[in-house]
A and B are shown apart, each in its own frame.
Chain A
Amino acid sequence: MSKGVDVNLENVWIRFGEFVAVREANVNIKGGEFFSFLGPSGCGKTTILRAVSGFLEPSDGTIKIGGKDMAGIGPNKRPTALIFQNLALFPLMKVWENITFSLEVQGVGKADRRKRADELLEMIALSDQGEKLPSELSGGQKQRVAIARALCAEPDVLLLDEPLSALDLKLRQHMRTELREIQQRVGITFIYITHDQGEALTMSDKVAVMRAGIIDQIADGKSVYDDPATPFVASFVGENNVFRGKVKSIDGDMALIDTNRSGTLLARMASAAKGTLKVGDNAMMFIRPEACKIATDTSPAHNRLTAKVKNEEFEGQIYNVFLEGSEGKEIKMSLVNIGQQRLSARGSDLTLEYAPEQAVALPAGDLASE
């Protein structure tokens, strides 16, 4: 199969009348990469994908596929294949006809198409289902047929618009692994869209986090999680405890934040904050629930907080503990379930601590949902 090619978005703007759906997107996707766009509903993910596949011309900027400017080239002439949010299988065609529709378009004879269909059906483990209609398949099977149909055209770039969103949790997790395997096998560029951060983090080489038409950060999953570029990314990807305040002092990579409600706390400056966050600036700092531990030493320190236990929630592998700090500040802490004894009773005081390198300081900004 063909090797994947680069996809570049240079200064891409997409407007619908007055409304700006995508603002100055600059994205460089390397050939063979599994690249995800992650963002909340309505942030412009599908719009970007439609622009790459050619159903939409950007209002401004350039989209290049394999180094070639795609302006004016229609979707039927681009080396991309799109898997739609709702799959869009052809209901009146048999499964094998669905899969080989792109070959039918190219005028390939029926016998050859049938042969190719059988190969692809075998790849997606649906060998004997070729004669069925799509309506006779289960959700996960339809999913795989849509993937096979897209791969049949041997595209250089596969575009996937939340293809797993209709599936139940178990199947979704299974399909994640499967998709990743398929991608590694065929080696083409995958551009994947999702609002599910778990999906983006587990499958992707690179993730672009979007918010209302703006791309906040492009990085690998671990960096997005551990070193967010904006408060939006910090609060959208995974869970985070947010503390607002002002920068009191900066010492190398570490910043001391005078929080509004929880005293002075120490945090590592995120890469994006270095050089921009100054003493006296409004700042936000983020501590992940799983970065919190119960402190044995309860004397005051810049990485300790005292709070009241409000509630706890057992999730199996972790306990979530909800605490109330001073002035009603809510804090969530997640503890790995290693069979330790139950926590202190509701309403009792608890001191928690964190490793300052695991807390992140950023210039104040919008959060994912307030």
Chain B
Amino acid sequence: MGGIFRDFFDRNGAGLGIFLLVVVGFWVVILIILPQLSMLDFSFRHHLPPPEMGGPKDTYTIEHYKYLVLGAPGADTSYNVVDLGVFGRTLIAALFVTILDLVLCYPLAYYLGQSKGGGFVRVLVLLLIIPYWINEILRAFAFRIIFGESGVINEVLLTMGLIGSPIDFIRANIALYAGLGYAYILLMIFPIYNVIESLDRNQIEAARDMGAPWWRIHWRIVIPYAKPGISSGCTMVFMLSAGALAAPQILGGPSSLWFTQIIYQWFNQGGNWPRGAAFAIVLLLTCIVIVLSMMRLFKVKIGDIGK
């Protein structure tokens, strides 16, 4: 341990070494550990009016976790069907958005990574980045407009005679999936692009020379090589989709809540921070478990992701 530190200071010098340690320490302790610990602490407390906080009634409890699973005491169902349903649907929808993004982005990232620069590629990258100059709210409302009942898409489909009456993209959640997918496209493309760019073209040609059709080249050569990029892209898109708030709020259909909206309601309207915290922590842990088990399934090591 001491050796590692000495080595670290030898390499970076005392000034830079201390600076790095302080910054990393601040990052880990103040920005990652402390806030989550306080949330964790919150989630195990009773929902009390402020005067009673710290009083004798302020003890640890698992009532909020119980509430998520079983519902309010004395409810007519034995499980909290509503919240659990929303929870499940959110995760499935986030998974769906992730897969959608992966399917869209992999070919694009492959194309970008294997074409040697060129004007067209630069324009394409710029086109992918520009949407991120526009703020989230504006983007979401703009989507609401174009996907609306009298929005551009319905108008075009109607005038082309492809549909008889306008499709309700909002109610069908199509606008939401499109909005979320669109919002995180870059987070999917760049990690994959990064790895594929470093893939030796000769390997692809060697496989082709040995008679492999394109799909086998991707299956056996490119995808295994791009796996770290694919998994970091998928992790980010999944985590962020499951945790998104603005897009579901604005683009979600009236009948479909996102789990984050329920959390937000507990924190905000309900003023019930402990319950909100408990719900948020369940969401976080579930997402982590899903990501880790996916990585296990596809044999990706956590260390590979940083590559």
**Are B202 and A76 closer than 8 Å at their CB atoms?**
no
Known: A88-B200, A90-B221, A92-B224. A82 touches B209 (CB 8 A): yes
Closest to A77 in B: B211
Binds B, one of A22-30, A98-106, A277-285: A98-106
Known: A81-B210, A92-B224. A105 touches B216 (CB 8 A): yes
Within 8 A of B (CB), among A137-166: 149, 153
**Are B224 and A76 closer than 8 Å at their CB atoms?**
no
Docked Cα-Cα span, A106 to B212, in Å, equals: 8
Within 8 A of B (CB), among A145-191: 149, 153
Interface residues of B (CB under 8 A from A): 200, 202-203, 205-213, 216, 220-221, 224-225
Docked Cα-Cα span, A101 to B216, in Å, equals: 11
Docked Cα-Cα span, A77 to B211, in Å, equals: 6
In the assembled complex, 26 residue pairs joining A and B whose CB atoms fall closer than 8 Å, in A order, are A54-B209, A74-B208, A75-B205, A75-B209, A76-B208, A81-B210, A82-B206, A84-B202, A86-B200, A88-B202, A88-B203, A88-B205, A90-B203, A90-B206, A90-B220, A90-B221, A92-B224, A93-B220, A101-B220, A102-B211, A105-B210, A105-B211, A105-B212, A106-B211, A149-B210, A153-B210
Closest to A97 in B: B220
Residues of chain B contacted by A101 (CB below 8 angstroms): 207, 210, 212, 220
Q: Which of A54, A88, A104 contacts B206 (CB 8 A)?
A: A88
Q: Which of the listed residues A76, A77, A85, A104 has the most CB atoms from chain B within 10 Å of its own CB?
A: A76
Docked Cα-Cα span, A76 to B212, in Å, equals: 7
Residues of chain B contacted by A74 (CB below 8 angstroms): 208
Closest to B206 in A: A88
Q: Chain B: interface secondary structure? A: helix
Residues of chain A contacted by B213 (CB below 8 angstroms): 76, 105
Docked Cα-Cα span, A144 to B225, in Å, equals: 23
Q: Which of B203, B209, B225 contacts A76 (CB 8 A)?
A: B209
Residues of chain A contacted by B221 (CB below 8 angstroms): 90
Residues of chain B contacted by A85 (CB below 8 angstroms): 202
CB distance from B300 to the nearest CB of A (A): 12
Docked Cα-Cα span, A76 to B200, in Å, equals: 18
Q: Which of A54, A76, A86 contacts B210 (CB 8 A)?
A: A76
Docked Cα-Cα span, A55 to B205, in Å, equals: 8
CB distance from B198 to the nearest CB of A (A): 11
Docked Cα-Cα span, A105 to B216, in Å, equals: 8
Docked Cα-Cα span, A106 to B209, in Å, equals: 13
Known: A86-B202, A90-B203. A153 touches B211 (CB 8 A): yes
Residues of chain A contacted by B225 (CB below 8 angstroms): 91-92
Residues of chain B contacted by A82 (CB below 8 angstroms): 205-206, 209
Within 8 A of B (CB), among A260-289: none
Closest to A159 in B: B209
Q: Which of A75, A91, A92, A93 contacts B208 (CB 8 A)?
A: A75
CB distance from A186 to the nearest CB of B (A): 17
